[in-house]
Structure 1
């Protein structure tokens, strides 16, 4: 019997690519998105794909999508929380409302989807939840601090969730991409205002983006599909080695800084 995966944010980018990867492996797929009219037209020709509405900021739409998935395929064996967007801007430029919206979608949205599927998974004593984080959750970047903060929250949420669910037979994975050639940049939201003094920060970010080695979207999503539902999946899965090297460098710098100030730390005991 085929297993079933529910994917949020399946209209574009990683969610769209994952839909095809799971289908190729014989999975049933609930490809969910805020506006089903934006679904890839190829989805309509796939018998084992259900396209339905799910807005991660709308609890009623989440519950409805889960019900439709269970009614159509009988169960939800895995969930991929791929929905999200990037908020651009220096911290001073981003309005409080924009910061709240970023966390409402990227963090609270995951919480709501997880809460909707967990009763089904707990009843069956199995399941796999995959949350899409970012290497930016480890290494924050100038003019993207609010976005990176949301991904850091996803990281900690996922790690804690994995510890809670492991005794119940439900596995959890944090998927950590470094960046792909998707519509992420064009769909990102501009800050509420502009402060000229941050020109150097924007220039540094532009230089970083220009030199960054991007991952292969197809290969990366194939890797995610391949580890879904395996007996002992990783809690952390880096996709694209460039991001992994960036994080290794960050942790080395962090440990070095702790060591240099350890005498001060010791005096606080």
Structure 2
């Protein structure tokens, strides 16, 4: 029957583009989203694409979507955990409930999907879980600290998961994009308590976006599809050289700071 990939958040951006790419390669694609009415009309013309409802914040929805995918295609060879959004705002502007909602989707939602597919993958002794993180998981940005914190949590979740599954024949990859215009802003949530005090932080973020954002997703989607179920997929995959440069600079700065204060660190031994 061919290989099958289940993609969350498939109505826009990376998820939508991934559906088209995998389908063109002959994969069976389970394109999931909260509202199936928002599916790209082009999906209807693809015989190997099955549009299914899935809300990562609802365990019953996740379990049902995975169950129906297995009934239709017999197997799920790969999962692309793409569903997520960005909570915008300075930390003071965001309520605790908004923080919980951000982590509920970007972290807990990924866990729900993973837990739903793992029993099947364990029985088969194969599978590939791909989580869409962000270079923001390494480099936190002004007015995006809560979003970046959720992607940092996803990074550590993915790394630990990979070590847990290594002996079971199941691969894990964290895809780390940066700087793409993927309806990111329109899908973002505004802070509950905006204040003018953080205008300079917003200006800095706008300047950063002006330098970094580009629109062509195709090379990154091709790269993600290329490594899916490959013999030795990477644990981390940077899909934008701009983001990779950001991370290299961040780690150089971090190690420099550790070195400058190592004389104090040594006293804590």
TM-score class normalised by the smaller sequence: over 0.9
- Is the CA contact 2:143–2:205 (under 8 Å) kept in the aligned structure 1? yes
**Corresponding residue for 1:171?**
171
CA displacement at 1:180 relative to structure 2: 1.1
CA displacement at 1:47 relative to structure 2: 1.0
Q: Structure 1: any 5+ residue segments left out of the alignment?
A: none
TM-score calculated relative to the size of structure 2: 0.99
- Is the CA contact 1:214–1:240 (under 8 Å) kept in the aligned structure 2? no
**Corresponding residue for 1:41?**
41
Distance (whole Å) between structure 2 residues aligned to residue 171 and residue 227 of structure 1: 11
Question: Which SS does the other structure have where 1:184 is aligned?
Answer: coil
1:212 aligns with 2:209: no
Question: Which SS does the other structure have where 1:265 is aligned?
Answer: helix
Cα deviation digits, residues 91-116 of structure 1 (max 9, x gap): 00001000000000000000000000
**Corresponding residue for 1:222?**
222
TM-score calculated relative to the size of structure 1: 0.99
Distance (whole Å) between structure 2 residues aligned to residue 244 and residue 132 of structure 1: 15
1:85 aligns with 2:107: no
Question: What is the aligned length?
Answer: 269
Q: Structure 2: any 5+ residue segments left out of the alignment?
A: none
CA displacement at 1:179 relative to structure 2: 2.2
- Is the CA contact 1:135–1:176 (under 8 Å) kept in the aligned structure 2? yes
1:190-209 matches, cutoff 5 A: 190-209=190-209
**Corresponding residue for 1:132?**
132
**Corresponding residue for 2:236?**
236
Distance (whole Å) between structure 2 residues aligned to residue 50 and residue 13 of structure 1: 18
Cα deviation digits, residues 215-251 of structure 1 (max 9, x gap): 7311101110111001110000000100000100000
**Corresponding residue for 2:116?**
116
- Is the CA contact 1:128–1:172 (under 8 Å) kept in the aligned structure 2? yes
CA displacement at 1:186 relative to structure 2: 1.1
Question: Which SS does the other structure have where 1:92 is aligned?
Answer: helix
**Corresponding residue for 1:66?**
66
Distance (whole Å) between structure 1 residues aligned to residue 227 and residue 119 of structure 2: 23
Cα deviation digits, residues 128-151 of structure 1 (max 9, x gap): 000000000000000000000000
**Corresponding residue for 2:2?**
2
Distance (whole Å) between structure 1 residues aligned to residue 164 and residue 44 of structure 2: 37
